[in-house]
């Protein structure tokens, strides 16, 4: 079995993405999460480059990591000075990180034009920088920046840089496709050639995604002999990002039989949770169509597909979703067939037959609602409530009934802030509740009034929070067009354990919002009541 070393640079290279900015707390939390996944190396940042990066190494030292080795990142010493007095190298040593990674130019054009030194002088810089860190007793990785572009222009110089780093004691030579423009077919022969010319060297690969090929080029390098892969969780990084470790890890672990291994035994099923965790900390919406770990990676919409996976999941799934912590999802949309209903019912404990009248009736209702704009593929909580009510699932009840609501908007002059006020009258557990609330906008006011009416009966609703609110104008029809068009509202809510999405559709945005809000609250109450019932039964 071939062991591939995973080197994560989310905290450094990933943090260079234009929409990512990690705090020291963010970095520590992500590092600890990566350690649970079994990542071998976690690059924490560039000590001395920012207070956050410098503080990270001091803080992480107080945590006991089970699997990961912390790496600090920096550059070769400035050509005008010496390695022993270089501020950058001294900061690396002061970080006390056990592994130090420095990058050096491997393209002659960069040395002459960017650094403005001779190739011979730069070879001395590389040698002395690596030697300085090795003499301090640290593991040293040399990131060969612009290696593939430099090798294509002048292979002699690029090879000379690698040899100098190796001669000075570099433990791993990491070949970088810094501009992200090298194709897999060009990676393979170069890595194979290096294996011949530098047989004692341990080779790594670090690629960028400017051609949407960073995963492919990384895997090509592994196939040719590289034993370390550098990348980031979810592929975040500068420009188009870095190689996506979620895909690379999954392919190495699951697509090579037992030929490759890169995580400790039993860690792979936590991959999706790590992916979502990093996205949450980075304040980025998870990419639903991301391979392996995306929410849609194992989602089935068409009736023909669902009918097949009901018989055998591998007919339309290339791996078991559970192997990476994901789940199979059957969607109920206008494209659904009766097999979708049967599969969804099975999730909730109902063993249905496609010929049952309730299945046919529910399918007809779903298709009609979908044609009106209800996006049940995105709003699975609303689907679950609809299905369970139709099938008479115990626990799905009317926790509250709307008697009336009213929303008032007022604005006194052009410069004044609009005032939003909502009143709600509900029947709750046999009592009539009438409440009012102000809000930042009509939907917020309506939400506040609804919660105010329910908190006395269901105090655990205080755990629930709004995560996302989306409004989309649907395609105009003869009856609904212009400012009177139908709108679809999707509300994502969460508590301390789960997230869920509900939907509402109307030509009145307040009514559509009410539909989604009331479904969201009902779903929370149903789930909590059902969980309590199961707990009592277990006791």
> 371, 389, 421: which is the final residue of a domain?
371
Q: Are residues 57 and 122 in the same domain?
A: yes
- Report how far residue 294's alpha carbon sits from residue 317's, in angstroms, rounded to the nearest whole number: 14
Residue 383 lies in a domain: no
Residue 184 lies in a domain: yes
Q: Are residues 305 and 274 in the same domain?
A: no
Six-digit token string for 421: 């006020």
Domain count, the chain: 3
Q: Are residues 151 and 235 in the same domain?
A: yes
Q: Are residues 251 and 305 in the same domain?
A: no
Q: SS3 for 301?
A: coil
DSSP conformation letters of 90-105: HHHHHTT-SEEEEEEE
Q: Are residues 315 and 417 in the same domain?
A: no
Q: Are residues 252 and 178 in the same domain?
A: yes
Q: What is the pLDDT along the chain (539 residues), one digit of tens a residue?
A: 789 999 999 999 999 999 999 999 999 999 999 999 999 999 999 999 999 999 999 999 999 999 999 999 999 999 999 999 999 999 999 999 999 999 999 999 999 999 999 999 999 999 999 999 999 999 999 999 999 999 999 999 999 999 999 999 999 999 999 999 999 999 999 999 999 999 999 999 999 999 999 999 999 999 999 999 999 999 999 999 999 999 999 999 999 877 789 999 999 999 999 999 999 899 888 898 999 999 899 988 776 776 777 778 888 999 999 999 998 877 766 556 777 778 777 776 777 787 888 888 877 877 777 777 777 777 888 888 887 887 765 556 889 999 999 999 998 888 888 999 999 999 999 999 999 999 999 999 999 999 999 999 999 999 999 988 999 888 666 666 677 788 999 999 999 988 999 999 999 999 999 999 999 999 999 999 888 887 777 76
Q: Are residues 149 and 26 in the same domain?
A: yes
Q: Are residues 120 and 240 in the same domain?
A: yes
Residue 139 lies in a domain: yes
Q: Are residues 162 and 274 in the same domain?
A: yes
- Report how far residue 110's alpha carbon sits from residue 108's, in angstroms, rounded to the nearest whole number: 5
Residue 381 lies in a domain: no
Neighbouring residues of 481: CB distance < 8 A, sequence distance ≥ 6:
none
- Domain CATH for 469: 3.30.160.270
Residue 76 lies in a domain: yes
Six-digit token string for 35: 């350690």
pTM assigned to the model? 0.77
Residue 394 lies in a domain: no
Count of other CB atoms within 10 angstroms of residue 286: 16
Q: Are residues 523 and 417 in the same domain?
A: yes
Q: Are residues 228 and 367 in the same domain?
A: no
Q: Are residues 44 and 77 in the same domain?
A: yes
The structure tokens 């079995």 sit at: 1
- Report how far residue 487's alpha carbon sits from residue 116's, in angstroms, rounded to the nearest whole number: 60
From first CA to last CA, the distance across the chain in angstroms is: 47
Give residue 120's domain range.
2-281
Element (H, E) at 409: strand 401-410
Count of other CB atoms within 10 angstroms of residue 446: 25
């Amino acid at each position: 079995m071939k062991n591939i070393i995973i080197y994560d640079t989310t905290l450094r290279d990933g943090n260079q993405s234009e929409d990512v900015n990690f705090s020291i707390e963010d970095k520590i939390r992500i590092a600890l999460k990566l350690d649970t996944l079994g990542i071998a190396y976690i690059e924490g940042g560039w000590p001395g480059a920012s207070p956050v990066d410098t503080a990270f190494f001091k803080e992480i030292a107080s945590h006991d990591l089970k699997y990961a080795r912390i790496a600090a990142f920096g550059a070769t010493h400035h050509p005008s000075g010496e390695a022993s007095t270089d501020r950058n190298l001294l900061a690396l040593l002061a970080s006390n990180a056990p592994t130090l990674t420095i990058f050096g130019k491997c393209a002659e054009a960069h040395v002459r034009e960017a650094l403005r030194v001779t190739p011979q002088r730069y070879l001395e810089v590389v040698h002395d920088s690596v030697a300085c860190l090795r003499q301090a007793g640290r593991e040293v990785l040399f990131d060969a920046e612009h290696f593939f572009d430099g090798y294509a222009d002048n292979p002699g110089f690029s090879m000379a840089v690698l040899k100098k780093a190796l001669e000075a004691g570099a433990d791993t030579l990491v070949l970088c496709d810094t501009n992200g423009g090298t194709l897999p077919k060009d990676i393979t022969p170069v890595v194979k050639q290096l294996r011949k010319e530098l047989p004692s060297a341990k080779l790594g690969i670090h690629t960028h995604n400017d051609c949407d090929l960073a995963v492919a080029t990384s895997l090509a390098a592994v196939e040719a002999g590289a034993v370390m892969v550098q990348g980031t969780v979810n592929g975040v990084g500068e420009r188009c990002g870095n190689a996506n470790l979620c895909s690379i890890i999954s392919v190495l672990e699951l697509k090579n039989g037992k030929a490759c291994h890169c995580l400790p035994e039993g860690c792979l099923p936590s991959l999706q949770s790590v992916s979502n965790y990093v996205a949450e900390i980075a304040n980025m919406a998870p990419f639903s169509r991301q391979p392996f770990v995306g929410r849609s990676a194992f989602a089935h919409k068409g009736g023909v597909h669902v009918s097949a996976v009901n018989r055998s999941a591998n007919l339309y799934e290339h791996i078991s979703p559970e192997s990476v912590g994901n789940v199979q999802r059957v969607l109920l949309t206008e494209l659904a067939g009766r097999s979708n209903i049967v599969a969804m019912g099975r999730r909730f404990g109902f063993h249905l037959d496609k010929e049952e009248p309730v299945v046919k009736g529910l399918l007809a209702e779903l298709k009609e609602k979908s044609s009106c704009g209800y996006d049940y593929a995105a709003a699975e909580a609303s689907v679950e409530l609809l299905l369970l009510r139709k099938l008479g699932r115990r626990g799905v009840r009317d926790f509250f009934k709307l008697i009336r609501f009213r929303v008032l908007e007022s604005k006194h002059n052009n410069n004044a802030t609009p005032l939003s006020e909502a009143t709600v009258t509900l029947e709750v557990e046999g009592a009539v509740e009438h409440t009012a609330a102000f809000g930042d906008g009509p939907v917020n006011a309506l939400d506040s009034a609804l919660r105010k009416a329910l908190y006395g009966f269901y105090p655990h609703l205080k755990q629930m929070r709004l995560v996302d609110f989306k409004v989309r104008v649907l395609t105009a029809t003869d009856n609904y067009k212009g400012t009177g068009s139908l709108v679809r509202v999707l509300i994502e809510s969460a508590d301390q354990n789960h997230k869920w999405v509900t939907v509402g559709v109307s030509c009145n945005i307040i009514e559509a919002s009410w539909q989604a809000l009331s479904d969201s609250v009902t779903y929370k109450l149903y789930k909590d009541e059902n969980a309590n019932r199961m707990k009592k039964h277990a006791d």
